[in-house]
A and B are shown apart, each in its own frame.
Chain A
Amino acid sequence: MKKIDLELAVGIFLLIGILSIGYLSVKLGHLDLTGKRGYTIHAEFEKAGGIKPGAVVEIAGVEVGSIKNIRLNNNAALIELTLDDTVKIHDDAIASIKTKGLIGEKFIQITPGGSENILPTGGKIRDTESAVDIEELISKFVFGKV
């Protein structure tokens, strides 16, 4: 009985601990165990304006993917988006960098287009809208250049 007690006790402890680590890393840390599939497309912005890899991509307020990578390409920000396979983007869709609330997180919102051509993997969204620079707006307003 004593033997079973020790092993069972340690087993229960391990289970609780591993569940906790799993909760922290999968639920909060967004550890991708399932190897979530998806396809990538690109979008070129004039200004990345504080957006970071891992930020969400939304269509109509629904999360459909995330930002994989941001790099500089011909003095513009080339952003690589990973989208769910079920989501189809038309080639005249508009991608814009938005902010949640006034000082919240940055995310990319895609406004679907209506053309007949669907963007293939690796395709590029042509119409983009850079982040709104609130400081610039305020300074324009203050110094009367509006």
Chain B
Amino acid sequence: MTNLLRIAGRYVLSALREMGRMFLFLLSALEMIFKPPFKFRQLLKQMRFFGNKSMLVILLTGSFTGMVLALQLYYILRKFGSEALLGPGIALSLIRELGPVLSALMVTGRAGSALTAEIGMMRISEQIDALTAMALNPIRYLIVPNIVAALIVFPLITAVFDVIGIYGGYLVGVKLLGISGGTYFSLMEDYVEMKDVLLGLYKSISFGLIVSWISCYKGFNSGFGAAGVSKATTEAVVLSSILILVWDYSLGSFLI
């Protein structure tokens, strides 16, 4: 019995310690963001890594999300004879919910995992220790550019996702299912408010922080050997995805 308690206690303590360590990691990275010298070149590289290279994935998932929304919503709305609301339906669900979440999940899968693996490899091949030995702060060189890049890139990529999705919905709703194109856009303009756009923006910025933070942390503290890196990568993707969905719900309920 005492043995069981001891095991349970050890798990709880190690989970708490991990949480504390993650939070301290985030704080020290956030502190470094505002301290010169800034590594703009590195930032640009990471923006290309997060942004440009995710573009194709975002274009594909965005257009198909919009298309499938149009298809499904059309058949639901037809039951109430209000097909005209297809435009606002698609726009609101994309802008408020699906755009930020799906693009964050896609970027986690594409860039977050690669980032964890890359930093993990640097850790196990002792490149991070080499940086420290040269009196270069590894957080400034490796972590801060990623976090800043993600904070800039996520809202932009979410906006691209939304716009592509709206036009994908247009393609299916107007061209295939025969809703009038004028209705689609004019009702959308009536129903979508700045509040909705801002909610999507807040969500995507916070997802950017979550993804870059978790991916960097897991890579930075990855275990030894190839198995350690693969474990860190898996954990980073799973944890980021869960946190994205949980945070999405909480932010949605705060700012409804």
Contact = CB atoms under 8 A, between A and B. Distances in A.
B47 interface: yes
Interface in B87-117: 91, 95
A20 B197 contact: no
B189 A9 contact: no
A28 B95 contact: yes
B162 A13 contact: no
Interface stretch (B17-25, B126-134, B151-159, B236-244): B151-159
B103 to A, nearest CB: 11
Interface string B144-164: 000000000101110110110
Given A13-B55, A17-B51, A29 B196 contact: yes
A10 interface: yes
Nearest to B154: A17
B86 interface: no
B197 A18 contact: no
A31 B192 CA distance: 11
Contacts of B189: 27-28, 30
Contact of B156 (A9, A13, A23, A29): A13
Interface string B11-54: 00000000000000000000000000000000011011001100
A99 B140 CA distance: 58
Contacts of B196: 29
Contact of A29 (B47, B55, B153, B194): B194
Contacts of B45: 6
Contact of B193 (A10, A14, A23, A29): A29
A16 B44 CA distance: 16
Interface string A19-63: 011011101111100000000000000000000001000000000
Which size class do B's interface residues fall under? Answer: 20 to 34
B188 interface: yes
Contacts of B47: 10, 13-14
Contacts of B195: 29
Contact of B192 (A12, A18, A21, A28): A28
Interface in A84-137: 105
A42 to B, nearest CB: 24
B55 A54 contact: no
Contacts of B157: 17
A32 B193 CA distance: 12
A29 to B, nearest CB: 4
Contacts of A24: 95, 159, 162-163, 197, 200
B163 A13 contact: no
Interface in B179-236: 188-190, 192-198, 200-201
Contacts of A25: 194, 197
Nearest to A12: B52
Contacts of B160: 16-17, 20
12 contacts: A10-B47, A13-B51, A13-B52, A17-B51, A20-B162, A20-B163, A21-B156, A24-B163, A24-B197, A24-B200, A31-B194, A31-B197
Interface of B: 44-45, 47-48, 51-52, 55, 91, 95, 153, 155-157, 159-160, 162-163, 188-190, 192-198, 200-201
